[in-house]
Amino acid sequence: MDDSPTQTNLIMLRRFLSEVLEGGNLDLIDELFAETFAYHRNTKPPLGGGRERYKERLRILRAAWPDRRDTVTHMFGADDYVAVRVESYGTHQGQIYGIAPTGRPVMWVTNGIFQFAEGRITEAWISEDTFAMLQQMDVVTIRPQAESAEPQGPDEF
């Protein structure tokens, strides 16, 4: 078995994904995360408050999707970093982003880069497809374009 720091980090992140995100064991965060953990989400500045503030964020997510299931589609590590792509599924059963529960099934993709030091997760950069999530919750819709409309974005050329 490979006992390299990279392999240890991969195991630690899998444990976080399965036991904390999917399993709801928020107490495990104290073991896996540094007290000064920094969380970066999409283009926003880092969420302050360290691991305690991050636990509060995860409590909100667990309440919104208590039946959450995750599938890791890609995970690889190098040195002190692990990158992961996760497909998550759940039923919107609790308030999130100020939106009352819709009871709708939702699937979203999250990409993350996690940094490790001294056997703990110290920082994470997370990007999730919130727009697709909101569409599936029937909160936002895309207005159809007329056939003669000019291209509106890079994917339409």
**What sections of the chain are H helices per DSSP?**
5-15, 29-32, 50-64, 130-136
User: Does some domain include residue 149?
Assistant: no
Neighbouring C-beta atoms of residue 112, cutoff 10 Å = 20
Q: Which tens digit of pLDDT belongs to each residue from 57-67? A: 999 999 999 99
User: Does some domain include residue 148?
Assistant: no
Domain that holds residue 67: 5-142
The pLDDT value recorded for residue 77 is 96
Nearest 5°: phi and psi at 58?
Answer: -70, -30
Q: How many structural domains is the chain composed of?
A: 1
User: Does some domain include residue 156?
Assistant: no
Among 152, 101, 109, 145, CA closest to 127:
109
Please return the burial class of 55, using the count of CB atoms within 10 Å of its CB with bins 0-12, 13-18 and 19+.
middle
User: Does some domain include residue 151?
Assistant: no
User: Does some domain include residue 106?
Assistant: yes
The pLDDT value recorded for residue 157 is 43
pLDDT lower than 50: segments of the chain: 157
pTM beyond 0.75, yes or no: yes
The pLDDT value recorded for residue 154 is 58
Q: For position 41, which CATH number holds?
A: 3.10.450.50
Among 75, 68, 72, CA closest to 24:
68
